[in-house]
Amino acid sequence: MTRQQKRARIEQIVDRCGADILDSEEYRQTDKYIQHGSTTTREHMISAACVSVKIARIFKAKCDQQSLVRGALLHDYFLYDWHSPKNTHPEKHPTRHSSYALKNASEDFAINPLEAEIIREHMFPCTLKIPRHKESWILITADKICSVKETFSKPFYADLVQELKHE
Ligand SMILES: [Fe+2]
Ligand SMILES: [Fe+2]
């Protein structure tokens, strides 16, 4: 498989597993918020989903790919600007935003228990509960990698992210 084919495969998987999320108006609103650098929260979550699929493929991890993608796509669905001066307790963002993301995701989308765990526990070790499933560990890793890259540069898979925004 060529590099181009591998990238197309990742895009296809994210698109297929998360179509209802990616196409929803609710999800589009996460583009209003900046996550890191100049990357919006929507771009960050889509990039984290692509990198999660890539990590699962590198390690040939037998995992629930659909739940991995959907949990990744919604892991930061907390729906506020954490840099804004209106956010009166920015120091609480690292420990609390995963619970807000889970609450909002449960209200707006049909999510299963594994997807809920992936979202709720993605900030480990800031949140103390140790994740039980490998899908959660894959997203935790992808999220950290994406966050560092976005702080200094464009998101991973920036071209795929643009296509997956379905605009
Ligand atoms: Fe997060
Ligand atoms: Fe994140």
Question: Higher-confidence residue: 69 or 81?
Answer: 69
Please tell me the distance from the alpha carbon of residue 109 to that of residue 18, in angstroms, as a whole number.
11
Residue 74 has pLDDT above 80, yes or no: yes
Ligand nearest to the CA of 126: 1
The tens digit of pLDDT for each residue in 122-145 reads: 999 998 899 999 999 999 999 999
User: Residue 62 class from Cβ within 10 Å (0-12 exposed, 13-18 middle, 19+ buried)?
Assistant: exposed
Check residue 127 and give its pLDDT: 87
Ligand 1: distance of its center to the CA of 78 in Å?
9
Ligand 1: distance of its center to the CA of 23 in Å?
21
- Across all residues in the chain, what is the average pLDDT? 95
Ligand 1: distance of its center to the CA of 39 in Å?
14
Ligand nearest to the CA of 124: 1
Ligand nearest to the CA of 72: 2
Check residue 166 and give its pLDDT: 87
Residue with tokens 């039980």: 132
Residue 62 has pLDDT above 90, yes or no: yes
Check residue 139 and give its pLDDT: 98
Residue 56 has pLDDT above 80, yes or no: yes
How confident is the model over 4-27, as a mean pLDDT?
97
Residue 55 has pLDDT above 90, yes or no: yes
Ligand nearest to the CA of 149: 2
Complete domains list, the chain, with CATH: 3-164 (1.10.3210)
Please tell me the total number of residues recorded for the chain in this structure.
167
Can you say how many angstroms the Cα of residue 113 is from the centroid of all Cα atoms in its chain?
16
